Amino acid sequence: MQEQQEDDEFSYYRADDLINRRIVKSRVEVCRLVRTSGFPPPVKMGDSMQSGALYPRREVHAWLRARAARRRKTETAE
């Protein structure tokens, strides 16, 4: 039941949440993953550089599942 709530369409992670959950190590890593690895880009809450960035939980979870599936596929191919 809790997983369903976390995947709610309007649930978001802040960068600090991603770090605290050990999904990423730093804000810099979040930016790098967005540029190079298909990590979901943030939803900006304003126009300025100071505005908050939110990462949709559903998209983050889908990205993690895809990475895990790719890893399993690689492991079974070896």
pLDDT beyond 80 at 56: yes
Cα dihedral: 52, 34, 65, 25 (round 10): -70
pLDDT beyond 50 at 1: no
Rounded to whole angstroms, how far apart are CA atoms 55 and 11? 9
H helix or E strand, kind and range, residue 31: helix 27-36
Q: What is the pLDDT at residue 15?
A: 94
H helix or E strand, kind and range, residue 54: strand 53-56
Rounded to whole angstroms, how far apart are CA atoms 72 and 61? 16
pTM above 0.75, yes or no: yes
pLDDT in tens, 16-37: 999 999 999 999 999 999 999 9
- Residue with structure tokens 């802040």? 14
